[in-house]
Amino acid sequence: MELLGKKVHQIARRGVGRTVQTASVFEQLTDWAEKPAGVLAHGQKQWLEIGMLLVQNADVLLLDEPVAGMSHEEREETGNLLRRIGAERTVVVVEHDMDFMRAFATSVTVLARGQVIAEGSVADVRANPKVQEVYLGRATAVADGTPEVTSGQTEAS
């Protein structure tokens, strides 16, 4: 299914909902029903956007950094919500918060410069030598035997 260059309503008609910098806690939305979205806190706005996707009944949710700027408690609630949503539809999350991904991801795809370098469980990806080289750098011995860390590229998510 080609989505590039399509308008939001055209993408939605294909069963794909998406957000940018969005997240969760759908149950609490009723507490804010009378408030304009502009006065909501950052995390509440994220959850509102996810709620708007759920109302569209999209088969696929594309979320870009859904927990950015959230407190620890909000991240936990967001992760639990995404886990529940993921039981009924596909949820794709682009996220740089590795603690969040370790806690809530069921499968991970790692990109470097737009290319897939690893896919699998969080444990599999963490153990992948290519991921370690690209994102953590690699240790090399210098003349005196002391390890030197060479940093890897970190441009992709």
Residue count of the chain: 157
Quick one: pLDDT at residue 26? Answer: 47
How far is it, in rounded angstroms, from Cα 67 to Cα 49?
Answer: 12
pTM metric for this prediction: 0.64
For 113-148, write each residue's pLDDT tens digit.
889 999 999 899 889 999 888 887 764 444 444 434
Q: Which domains does the chain have, with CATH numbers?
A: 1-105 (3.40.50.300), 107-157 (no CATH)
Residue 30 pLDDT more than 50? yes
Quick one: pLDDT at residue 104? Answer: 92
How far is it, in rounded angstroms, from Cα 128 to Cα 117?
Answer: 9
How far is it, in rounded angstroms, from Cα 61 to Cα 92?
Answer: 6
Around Cβ 105, how many Cβ atoms within 10 Å? 20
> What is the rounded end-to-end Cα distance, in angstroms, of the chain?
23
Percent of the chain residues past pLDDT 90, beyond the cut: 24
Sign of the dihedral through C-alpha 103, 71, 83, 60 = negative
How far is it, in rounded angstroms, from Cα 111 to Cα 21?
Answer: 19
For 40-75, write each residue's pLDDT tens digit.
887 888 888 888 888 888 889 999 999 988 989 989
